Chains A and B, each alone.
Chain A
Amino acid sequence: MEHVYPGKCIRCGRCVEVCPYRCIELLDIRHGLSAGTPIIDVEKKPCFLCMKCVHVCPTGALLPIEQHETRMGLAVIDQHTCVSWKPDSLLMCKTCYNVCPFRDTAIRMEEFKPYVDERYCVGCGICTNACLVNREQGGKAINIKPIYATIKLPEVPQ
């Protein structure tokens, strides 16, 4: 869910077994030392933030955190293909806004265009799976990009 530290995780697979949506998969031996650690491919199957996995982890590789503290990636809108962002478009789609679990904080509508706020986006991938636009080069008009633990995101004001 958050950054799984391959030294901490003991590859017991309990997070995989409790995930009710079968979103969590295990990396295989091709990933070297990270083999056997869990991963969520949110663009394939989104995480619905039920937080069951973090409560069964015995080693603290997944910490029991709140839903809004999760960071799995960051949703990035492709402004060239999003129908609401096209300058000459008469369509106004707000599917990503509607499905976002943190509506009005993570995705906001401003002047009929969706904006992602990187301070709040948890990267769950629900928007990507709901987006109606299929790009020619693959993916949707809103995609999840990986974030790395080295990048410090601005503090979330409470």
Chain B
Amino acid sequence: MMRWSWGNKRLLVLAGAFALLLLAPLLNYYYDINFIQGWYQSIGIGDFWIVSPLEGLESLLVTREPFGPLLAALFFPVLLALLLGRVFCSWICPITFLTEVSERLKKLLSKKTATPERWTLFRQMLWFALGLELFLTLVLGAPIFVFMSPPGLIGRELMMLIFFRTLPLEGLIIILVLILNLTSKRFYCRYLCPLGAFLALLGMKRRVRIENILQNCKGCRTCDRACPMGLSPSVGEGTTVYCWNCGTCIDNCPYGQLVFKVKKEESRPPIPMQKRS
């Protein structure tokens, strides 16, 4: 069996997540099947509801009253972020899908290397973006990110296209974000995305991290050049809060020195693997 690289697996998941955004409105519009509704602001698969954590937080902050279904719908994405970190960004987000697809097309057409790192800012910019966004939300009394969020907007544009045959003007934000992402490597995701910042914050103590096992590392820094977030996994930056567990560095390491490591709690003894009768 062929071993799939993390990049290919991830592209498959991203494509599936994007296809869901197209499938849901098509099923709803043409077949009146309401099994799946919504997109990555809130998606309902049958009675399993998910609300994006930042949007849910904004709604709670503005209304100042908890609503049962909202809290329940926040449970799963928050748990995912707590355990795996910012994996929504790298494995599901439609912006990442569109960015990666255009990057791959660009590579096929022009034989050029990946998007350059044209502008680099402080990594801490991400927290500033989150703070500013939450502050503005509270000042204006209306959630900002919910109608400006690029991953949500893609879903909204696709739904509006299928339901009303129009594309709302807010879609320009998507184009702007894609231009930023393709001009300088993941510029929006790295420095400006409040949702990414919030998920990163939740995943600060995540269980799965990328570590350099340092047995055979030659210090070639191939992984550092490959990292879409501009980190240096060779010196252990894969364990920092900024890593989004995409696995690109693992694919690119010629010596197989980088691995996903599941950190177990030290206090608890390891669970025996054999089945209990």
Residues of chain A having any CB pair with chain B under 8 Å: 5-14, 16-18, 20, 22, 25-26, 28-29, 33-36, 52, 56, 58-60
Contact = CB atoms under 8 A, between A and B. Distances in A.
A35 B170 CA distance: 9
Given A17-B28, A26-B156, A59-B51, A11 B67 contact: no
Interface of B: 24-25, 28-29, 32, 34, 37-39, 41-44, 49, 51-52, 55-56, 58-59, 62-63, 67, 69-70, 73, 140-143, 146-147, 152, 155-156, 159-160, 163-164, 168-170
A73 to B, nearest CB: 22
A60 B69 contact: yes
A136 to B, nearest CB: 30
A8 B59 contact: yes
Contacts of B140: 33
A13 B159 contact: yes
Contacts of B73: 58
B67 A59 contact: yes
B34 A29 contact: no
Dominant secondary structure of chain A at its interface with chain B:
loop
B56 A26 contact: no
Contact of A11 (B32, B69, B152): B152
Given A6-B142, A20-B32, A13 B156 contact: yes
A52 B143 CA distance: 25
A63 to B, nearest CB: 9
Contacts of B52: 10
A58 B42 contact: yes
A102 B168 CA distance: 37
Given A13-B38, A13-B39, A25-B164, A7 B141 contact: yes
A58 B44 contact: yes
B159 A10 contact: no
A52 B34 contact: yes
